[in-house]
Amino acid sequence: MRAEVHALCVGKPAPLADGKLSSIDKHAVEGPVRITRMGLEGDTQTNRKLHGGEHMAVHLYAADHYAYWREEIPEVARLASPGAFGENLHTQGLTEADAYIGDRFRMGTALLELSMGRQPCSTLERHFQRKDMVKRIIANRRCGIYFRVIEEGEAVAGDSLALIARSQDRWSVEDAFALLFDKARKPSQDEIRDLLAVPQLGPQWQDKLRAKLR
């Protein structure tokens, strides 16, 4: 499996429409970008509790989803360019249905490991000025993907994001996200334990799974 990196994006704190600071609005940068254990050089995370850190160092949102969102919310002009969902990697050819917890990808000279999906939050709603964004994302499961950085390196737009190792094929990001956040989904205790047993799963999602155990 190989996806094309259309853009690498970074952002700085800026006020949203309600005046609160956020770094969600990211923009493509030119030339090589250094990728460290904590993310892309030049990138900033305003809310460190929900974004960033070792297990959420790099955020991918699929360019594949943008056409869908332009039809769903055509009034949002920001969807005309990469970085609208706060992603660091704007890629074509990899979605939540294709990507599995623990997958390792080579991008440029960096090695990334998939840790979890992104939990949609109210910042997305304020950013797009749509109060139903969290509900929509949970319904369509176009959540985004987080990686930890196993080997630091550099990458540039036009590079490939190439799958080099898959440790399990039971839990895609889409399926894990649905188990955790879709209220219509009634997971069994065995399913919860099975997902929790994936060693590469990020601690934030591990905690949510443990809360579902009886």
Q: What local confidence, expressed as pLDDT, does residue 76 receive?
A: 93
Q: What local confidence, expressed as pLDDT, does residue 18 receive?
A: 86
Write down the domain spans for the chain: 2-213
- The rounded distance, in Å, linking the Cα atoms of 161 and 5 is 7
User: Which residue ranges of the chain lie beneath pLDDT 70?
Assistant: 46-51
Q: What local confidence, expressed as pLDDT, does residue 11 receive?
A: 95
CATH architecture under which domain 2-213 falls: Beta Barrel (2.40)
- The rounded distance, in Å, linking the Cα atoms of 47 and 154 is 25
The string of pLDDT tens digits covering residues 54-103 is 999 999 999 999 999 999 999 999 999 999 999 999 999 999 999 999 99
Compute CA distances 30 → 2, 7, 89, 159, whole Å: 22, 8, 13, 13
For the chain, the straight-line distance linking the first and the last C-alpha, in angstroms and rounded, comes to 38
- The rounded distance, in Å, linking the Cα atoms of 71 and 167 is 36
The string of pLDDT tens digits covering residues 161-173 is 999 999 999 999 9
DSSP letter assigned to residue 168: -
